[in-house]
Amino acid sequence: MAVLLALPAFCQEPDGKKINKIKRDSQYLYDESTMKNPQEAYEAAMVLLNQRIDEYVKTKKKFKSSDNIIIKDIASKSERIQMPRGELTRVFVYVKKSDIIPAENSTMRENAGKKEEEKDDAGKLKSEVTPITSSGEAISGDASLRLSTPWQQEVVDQLLTCATLIEAKALLNRQKAEYKVKRIGTRDNCRNAAECFWVVGDAAGNLVTVLGPGAAERTNFRTLQRDALENFGNATALWFVMAK
């Protein structure tokens, strides 16, 4: 998804009261991330803000007939607030809803809400996540391997739309704040690998797949086939435990 988001203006005053005021104001969309590295925290917060924008677009009639949307004058219309939190940095980003408009024949981003409503020849909604091989070819997976709890499968599906592990970590932090995920971590602090879901990446930090819990075998939610964490060697990976 191509996104028209230039670097927002800085807010030099680390004002927690300003953040709370923005959160209470219905005219804004916002999100945040807290990490050790301020730039990574900013990038993760922007990923989450993009997702907020997509969610907002899906609910508004004025966007239904538009294939694309544009966020006008984003450089001056959006801001970030950066605050220290112990050894970490909290970055809060926000934009006015009024600056998100339908657009044609402009530099714009794809309307994710309209894309989700596209139907196949049978008149059914197309699936958000299509099982693919590591080479990118579509395959026929075993649908019975999908999670039986819809909201848990939705968490996995959202992770599979992330391009990088940084995006996935930001999404997991948000899901944790919403009490859908209990714990997250990396390989070096995992006490029980078998009980965890694993988000697996490649050497460049790109997201490869999400694996379900299991000892000898796990569900590969990208391919909807049986797989194992060991098949990915020492690849960079994040673990998480889903809430019940």
Phi/psi region, residue 214 (left: phi>0; alpha: psi -120 to 50; beta: rest), is: left
Q: What's residue 100's pLDDT?
A: 77
> Which of the four pLDDT bands, split at 50, 70 and 90, describes residue 78?
low
- Mean per-residue pLDDT of the chain: 76
Is a pLDDT exceeding 60 seen at residue 130? no
Biggest CA-to-CA distance, the chain? 55
Question: What would the mean pLDDT of 204-222 be, rounded to a whole number?
Answer: 93
pLDDT per position as a tens digit, 131-162:
444 344 444 578 899 999 999 999 999 999 99
- Report the length, in residues, of the chain: 244
Question: What would the mean pLDDT of 17-23 be, rounded to a whole number?
Answer: 87
- Closest by CA to 218, choosing from 234, 195, 184, is 195
